[in-house]
Amino acid sequence: MILRRLALLAILSAVSSFAQDSAPPAPAPSPAEPVSTDPRIRGAQAFASSGCPQCHTIRGNGGVKGPDLSGVGRRLNDEQIRAQIQNGSKQMPAFSDVLQASETDDLVAYLHSLRDKSKHPKK
């Protein structure tokens, strides 16, 4: 009787092990977001994911520690925007060691596309 139980346990253990090994693989996770071919869209995504809205506002959304960037494309050219991102300033940290070159390029494209009228009062 004991031998039968031991044999049955051995068989159940072997079947259980086989069932685990032959289980179908879990489905692969789907990508979170498709990658856009438009650098302005990738730049907007980089802006959001890099924490830029914590300090900067665009069209009323974001922080107020840094300047409103809604019209930065009217005020600065690509190289000025790139220099600001890479080198920072007195209050803004440099992001040259944080962002990849492609992310910086995309951010420049996005920020340069922001051409809302300046909200500074005319003197």
Summarize pLDDT for 5-47 with one digit per residue, the tens: 544 445 545 444 444 444 444 455 555 556 789 999 999 999 9
Residue 21 domain flag: no
Name the phi and psi angles at 63, rounded to 5.
-85, 175
Q: Which residues contact 71 (CB under 8 A, 6 or more apart)?
A: 114, 115, 116, 117, 118, 119
Q: What is the pLDDT of residues 69-95, one digit of tens each?
A: 999 999 999 999 999 999 999 899 999
Report in angstroms the alpha-carbon separations of 7 from 1, 21, 60, 114.
10, 21, 73, 75
In a domain, 7, yes or no: no
- Which residue from 44, 35, 45 is spatially nearest to 111, judged by alpha carbons? 44
Residue 118 lies in a domain: no
30 within domain boundaries: no
Domain with 76 in it: what CATH number? 1.10.760.10
Which range marks the domain in which residue 106 is found? 39-113
Residue 33 lies in a domain: no
Entry field: residues in the chain = 123
- Whether 47 maps to a domain, the answer reads yes
71 DSSP assignment:
T
pTM higher than 0.95 for the full model?
no
Residue whose structure tokens are 């107020």: 64
Q: Which DSSP symbol is given to 47?
A: H
Query: In whole angstroms, what is the distance from residue 5 CA to residue 7 CA?
Result: 5
**How is residue 52 annotated by DSSP?**
G
Split into its structural domains, the chain has a count of 1
